[in-house]
Amino acid sequence: MNARRVVADFGVFSRGYIRSRIGAFFALVFPVILILIFGAIFSGGSSEPVSVYFQNQDGSQVSNGFVSALNGTNTIRLRAVDTSQNFTSYLLSHSASDGIVIPSGFSSAFISGKAVNVTVYGNPASTTSAIVSGITRGVVNEFNLKRAGGSSVIGVEPQNVKSQSLKYIDFLVPGLVGFSVLTSPMFALVNISSQYKRDKIFKQLSLTPLTKSEWLVSKIFFYIVLTIISFLLMTLVGVFAFGAHISLTPWIIPFLVVGPLLFVSLGMLVGTGSKSVESSAVVGNLVTFPMMFLSGTFFPVSTMPAYLQSFAHVLPLFYVIDGLNNVMTFGNYGAALTDLGVLLVLSAIIFGLAVRFFKWRED
């Protein structure tokens, strides 16, 4: 390993990277755009009440009280539907799945103590429907209690795991840093390794004193630098645009180093094993895309179905993002150490395989 040659190769590669612009766009600008989009979609989401149609067929003081109690939860925003309308066709024609109907005779039943049902329309697959039905149930209980002349004994006090409440953006920043750690080196190296082979550039380089390990190390250094820049950019956007809570600890650094090491090697391995530039792109996508979506990049893995969660645990990127979440969000360094251990073992294996199968010359 000769430092002068690594530095020379690093210089030529990084200048080319900046000049081509396209790589820099995908590595630095694209993740920031993603953060802005996903941050905007989801960060407002929890405070914005869900819109729900309702039809008050009773129109009494009691039913009006019920409606204002629902509104008072601040979780759903009710939109009245005139009693002349057929409620279900109204929902369908407005592409809405959530609705509440207060039947006529609600007030008299409430006063006389006869059983009466408030109908809640919903889509079992949708999370907003679960919210609507839960909220309605809560208000119904309150009314039942009031009618029986009782008062609540047990209450609920909301409290988050951390002193500040965790928000989606707090998961999004580590997730998208992971996205960048994966995609920038993978796509580039898969492409480079097959293209250089086709264009005989590796042969050309093999005729100089540069060794293939030096070449690979220079790429790894480059993607570590790029990852750190990308991390800083995304953290800035996350903190200043969306008020993300991120602890900047030195613990983050090992993940920003081992991640690029792993994915430069993996990209090299995929590209080197392929016959043509086209087939390497296909194999590269097959390896990259599942990791890109199922490792906790855009959504925490814990929100996924159990079988996908177990699948996520065999994806190397999972350990990068889980580790970053552990150090940046939860401050759980013990768990992060496990993630780092897994990553070190994986990278050592993949780097070794890449050096072994990547050929300067053929026989």
Partner 1 sequence: MRESDGSRLTEAAIEVSSLKKAYGALQAVDGISFAVREGEVFSLLGPNGAGKTTTIEILEGLRKQDAGTARVLGTDPWADGYALHKKIGVIPQGFKFFEYPTPREAVKYYAALFGVKADVEGILAKVLLQDSAEVYFTRLSGGQKQKVGLALSLVNDPQLLFLDEPTTGLDPQARRAVWEVIRGLKREGRTVLLTTHYLEEAEELADRVAIMNKGRIITSGTPAEIITNHSSGERLLVHGSERLAKYLEKNASLPVEFDGRDLISLSLHRKEDVMAAVAAIQESGLEWDDLRTKRDSLEDIFVRLVGEPMEELEAKA
The residues that touch partner 1, with contacts defined as CB under 8 A, are 4-5, 7-9, 11-13, 15-16, 19-20, 199-201, 203-204, 206-210, 361-363
If the CB atoms of residues 218 and 326 are measured against partner 1, the closer one turns out to be 218
Question: Closer to partner 1 at the Cβ: 110 or 202?
Answer: 202
Distance of closest approach, residue 13 Cβ to partner 1, in angstroms: 8
Judged by CB, which is closer to partner 1: 24, or 96?
A: 24
The full 3-state SS of the chain, as one line of letters, equals CCHHHHHHHHHHHHHHHHHHCHHHHHHHHHHHHHHHHHHHHHHCCCCCCEEEEEEECCCCHHHHHHHHHHHHCCCEEEEECCCCCCHHHHHHHCCCCCEEEECCCHHHHHHHCCCCCCEEECCCCCHHHHHHHHHHHHHHHHHHHHHCCCCCCCCCCCCCCCCCCCCHHHHHHHHHHHHHHHHHHHHHHHHHHHHHHHCCHHHHHHCCCCCHHHHHHHHHHHHHHHHHHHHHHHHHHHHHHHCCCCCCCCCHHHHHHHHHHHHHHHHHHHHHCCCCHHHHHHHHHHHHHHHHHHCCCCCCHHHCCHHHHHHHCCCHHHHHHHHHHHHHHHCCHHHHHHHHHHHHHHHHHHHHHHHHHCCCCCC
| Least distance to partner 1, CB of residue 21, Å | 10
Cβ closest to partner 1, residue 16 vs residue 49: 16
CB of 7 to partner 1, least distance (A): 8
| Closest CB to partner 1 among residues 14, 309 | 14
- Given a contact cutoff of 8 angstroms between Cβ atoms, the answer to whether 106 and 139 are in contact is no
Least separation in angstroms between CB 5 and partner 1: 5
Nearest C-alpha neighbor of 348 from the set 269, 254, 261, 225: 261
Tokens of 253: 């650094």
Q: Which is nearer to partner 1, 82 or 362 (CB)?
A: 362
CB of 1 to partner 1, least distance (A): 14
Min separation Cβ 24 and partner 1, Å: 12
CA angle 214, 358, 341 (to 5 degrees): 75
CB of 284: closest distance to partner 1 in angstroms? Answer: 20
Comparing CB distances to partner 1, the nearer of 215 and 251 is 215
Q: Which is nearer to partner 1, 8 or 337 (CB)?
A: 8
Whole-number Cα distances in Å, 51 to 6, 54, 76, 108, 347? 59, 10, 6, 28, 48
Q: Nearer Cβ to partner 1, position 313 or 359?
A: 359
Q: Which is nearer to partner 1, 15 or 162 (CB)?
A: 15
Closest contact distance (angstroms) between CB of 14 and partner 1 is: 10
Sort strands 99-102 and 119-121 into parallel, antiparallel or unpaired: antiparallel
Largest CA distance in the chain: 96
